[in-house]
Structure 1
């Protein structure tokens, strides 16, 4: 069963498919503020691999703060983002729709580069935004961290983040409005370099410079202050905390840098270690406040697979930019002591298949807020699964299109299209060539192509993914 907050009214309980209705979610120990809409925090980490966190099998660094979140919450191992690269992945989570609908199929770059790839310059403000719906329902809404849905490089006329339904924002060089831009200090006696990709020249908001090693701490500081203000005003809050420092270039704090050999991989894990510690301030602010602890949902994931040579998605095949599992499968942690079924706390859901668009749709349900009228969301309502009260999976397939500028290499070509349906993962090129079918229930590493053994599955999935792609705007990869 699931707890629903319908437009600020009293708690109601709905019947979820396959479950029996009950009189309350947790009658014996319902939180004192059970009638209040729940707070929602999304932590969307940039370029972190599926198995980099120690709670997902990582062995290089111990991510203590995130591990504690997992121990007190629920982990999912079959969660997908909707693109293997940042901008479209973020669009999918924010809108609940396939990003290709909005002509964002790779990272947003310089104006001319976007045109060459057949992409928009920024996310259309007319796109459905979870933040906007929550804001209209009385939520305080804040975005702190990487945006990358418009306002980057030389594109300075993009809409501000606040035009998408956020009351406040602090971003980096991939967005407009207030920004914190990084100084790259290698602690080698040389002056720190600046890493702003042209953002400092765009205007459109105050800028402050911080050492790259503490950029996440800067986002956390502002997010915590925003939460403090929302709580003082008696408002529920929706907060995006989207760190970018795990994306290259990697500049960990001096103490952690000294413990590395200076290699890309070592620096990456040092940054991951530092980011984990800095996120702990946000987690503790919520955990240590009884009211927030019992009525806040924290959802943590990565926006795509790891950069090649940095993190790892082992044993999954592939990495960032590829449609293989390592590029699009993400670790997912859901924390909420007063919201998540206490019987599943500390466990791992290894069976439910869901994606970032489903998170968006489920957040609407958890908050008791209807999706925008007349808008078709591609995400499915899986709040009962998310809160550990069911193990339902997404019913529709999850479709993927490769970024137009990422065809792969001769050794590892990137399929043009992909689809996850049940236990199957299927790939095909636009011209129908190079069909690949993998049974993920026995081959999650995608080592054995079984397309010849299951022609009926191949035909069904080829027809489905081709039809899906034909209904979307084309980009430069499909001309």
Structure 2
């Protein structure tokens, strides 16, 4: 035992002496965050109705995670969580950002406070080139035309859609038999100069077209880069290439858009894979911002849809690729439970980037998990393959998330997609998932190790677990700034 400890100490000293050279080769990061796509929509996650070969290849060469969660079942707060490493409730963004009046009525902010601890800003301050290409939806949309530009959040360059401030691509629509394209969200022209119209069916390629020169420039300067590539074409309304409309059904249009998006992303992935220097030092992450809309995407075996706190609304597929970073090629991690708020502290740790001063992340640094090196709090030494792995293990930056994951529904989504009274709150802790109302009533408890479809409420069989989880959930809820979820539906009913 003493000999083993001595060897480990020597190894740590050696590793620390090399840390400067390791940091000099900090990995590039590309985060692909897809809009409104279900857990089961990639073919590598079981979709037999459509093919996503470019994503599937990433999974075959990397790690596929089956118990990854986003932190809201709707877009804007989900994007805040993955960008900040904190619960979106802290920043009063708990539903999609709409027009001013609607935002005020629901008790949500008009835009994300630029003081939020942005992952991009921390990386930018550490010397990374940072670019955002795709949907933003954290401020600047409809009549909210005085929101900060995306570049105020730590990005050197940006190109977005109609839901952000700065240069943007606006969608033209075209269906079979139509000669002249139409326009949607035409009022978005008032959100600033720099807009360009292009076919919605090709808009992901427009974002890729902007991202690749950004990569080229950073690579030429030998500068590490961080890129958000956030496609919005899988969000309805669906406008695939005209030759792929098929019968025009909602499902067919969705599948065609999904396949077109995968094809367009392939060019970005090939740019990295075909460059030895980038291939050996780039991490690509691909996931969804929330669950699917009914009749379009699919949540696999899970209950619920977008806007629901059931698994179908908050569980996301996650694929992580990086040949020199991810250590288990073709691995499927079915056990590790973690979430989008964990990505910011994890990526900062992986890149040896200091955490922002005075910030307490709600997420945990889970480097070993992301690298596919185990599901325990600390990866076994036998599974640690390099200097960084040793450093992270010795610092305790190990496997599965230890704290529970908490959720609050959007204030305007108490009744949606045919469900008249959706749970207000939820928590995932270990194998257990508990849902309830704001006051703790209507408790639902599910053992996800045996019932991932959330079909059998076992609260009465495990009263101690239910009481304990409910207490933690209500305490978390009361610690967060309130929105108008408790009164919003009543106001709407009075109007009618």
- Equivalent residue number for residue 320 of structure 2: 334
Q: Please, which of 154, 173, 192 is the counterpart of residue 181 of structure 2?
A: 192
The answer to whether the 8 Å contact 1:322/1:408 transfers is no
Q: Structure 1's 23 and 330: CA in aligned 2 closer, same or farther, altered over 3 A?
A: farther
Report SS of the residue matched to 1:122: coil
- Equivalent residue number for residue 299 of structure 2: 313
Report SS of the residue matched to 1:198: helix
Question: Distance between the aligned counterparts of 1:445 and 1:23, measured in 2?
Answer: 48
In the alignment, does 2:153 pair up with 1:164?
A: yes
Question: Distance between the aligned counterparts of 1:286 and 1:108, measured in 2?
Answer: 34
Report SS of the residue matched to 1:389: coil
- Equivalent residue number for residue 289 of structure 1: 275
- Aligned-residue offset at 1:293: 0.2
- Equivalent residue number for residue 443 of structure 1: 451
The answer to whether the 8 Å contact 1:184/1:193 transfers is yes
Q: Please, which of 317, 326, 331 is the counterpart of residue 347 of structure 1?
A: 331
- Aligned-residue offset at 1:188: 2.2
Aligned-pair RMSD on alpha carbons? Answer: 1.7
Question: Distance between the aligned counterparts of 2:458 and 2:297, measured in 1?
Answer: 29
The answer to whether the 8 Å contact 1:33/1:291 transfers is no
Report SS of the residue matched to 1:283: helix
Report SS of the residue matched to 1:158: coil
Question: Distance between the aligned counterparts of 2:408 and 2:460, measured in 1?
Answer: 23
- Equivalent residue number for residue 310 of structure 2: 324
CA deviations 1:358-388 (Å, max 9, x no partner) are 0111010111111111111101010111011
CA deviations 1:296-334 (Å, max 9, x no partner) are 000000000001211000210001000000000000000
- Aligned-residue offset at 1:411: 4.0
The answer to whether the 8 Å contact 2:414/2:420 transfers is no
Question: Distance between the aligned counterparts of 1:106 and 1:420, measured in 2?
Answer: 20
Question: Distance between the aligned counterparts of 1:382 and 1:353, measured in 2?
Answer: 11
CA deviations 1:75-129 (Å, max 9, x no partner) are 0000000000000000000000000000000000001000000000000001100
- Aligned-residue offset at 1:460: 0.5
The answer to whether the 8 Å contact 1:50/1:312 transfers is yes
The answer to whether the 8 Å contact 2:141/2:162 transfers is yes
| 1:242-253 map, 5 Å | 242-253=230-241
Report SS of the residue matched to 2:36: coil
- Equivalent residue number for residue 227 of structure 2: 239
Report SS of the residue matched to 2:32: strand
CA deviations 1:442-468 (Å, max 9, x no partner) are 000000000000000110111001000
**Normalized against structure 2, the TM-score is what?**
0.89
Question: Distance between the aligned counterparts of 1:416 and 1:197, measured in 2?
Answer: 35
CA deviations 1:115-169 (Å, max 9, x no partner) are 0000000000011001011001100000000000000111000000000000000
- Aligned-residue offset at 1:33: 8.1
In the alignment, does 2:430 pair up with 1:430?
A: no
In the alignment, does 2:45 pair up with 1:56?
A: yes
The answer to whether the 8 Å contact 1:184/1:194 transfers is yes
- Aligned-residue offset at 1:183: 0.4
Instruction: Pick the structure with more helix per residue.
Output: 2
- Equivalent residue number for residue 153 of structure 1: 142
The answer to whether the 8 Å contact 2:68/2:315 transfers is yes
Q: Structure 1's 71 and 24: CA in aligned 2 closer, same or farther, altered over 3 A?
A: farther
The answer to whether the 8 Å contact 1:353/1:394 transfers is yes
- Equivalent residue number for residue 458 of structure 1: 466
Report SS of the residue matched to 2:80: helix
Question: Distance between the aligned counterparts of 1:217 and 1:135, measured in 2?
Answer: 25
- Equivalent residue number for residue 369 of structure 1: 353
| 1:2-41 map, 5 Å | 35-41=24-30
Tell me the matched-pair count: 451
Q: Structure 1's 121 and 292: CA in aligned 2 closer, same or farther, altered over 3 A?
A: same
The answer to whether the 8 Å contact 1:43/1:301 transfers is yes
- Aligned-residue offset at 1:255: 1.9
- Equivalent residue number for residue 266 of structure 1: 252
- Equivalent residue number for residue 9 of structure 1: none
- Aligned-residue offset at 1:187: 2.6
Structure 1 runs not aligned, ≥5 long: 1-14
Structure 2 runs not aligned, ≥5 long: 1-7, 376-398, 488-496
Question: Distance between the aligned counterparts of 1:233 and 1:411, measured in 2?
Answer: 53
The answer to whether the 8 Å contact 2:23/2:351 transfers is no
Question: Distance between the aligned counterparts of 2:15 and 2:47, measured in 1?
Answer: 38
Question: Distance between the aligned counterparts of 2:180 and 2:87, measured in 1?
Answer: 43
Question: Distance between the aligned counterparts of 1:427 and 1:172, measured in 2?
Answer: 35
- Aligned-residue offset at 1:432: 2.0
Q: Structure 1's 197 and 86: CA in aligned 2 closer, same or farther, altered over 3 A?
A: farther
The answer to whether the 8 Å contact 2:60/2:330 transfers is yes
**Normalized against structure 1, the TM-score is what?**
0.92
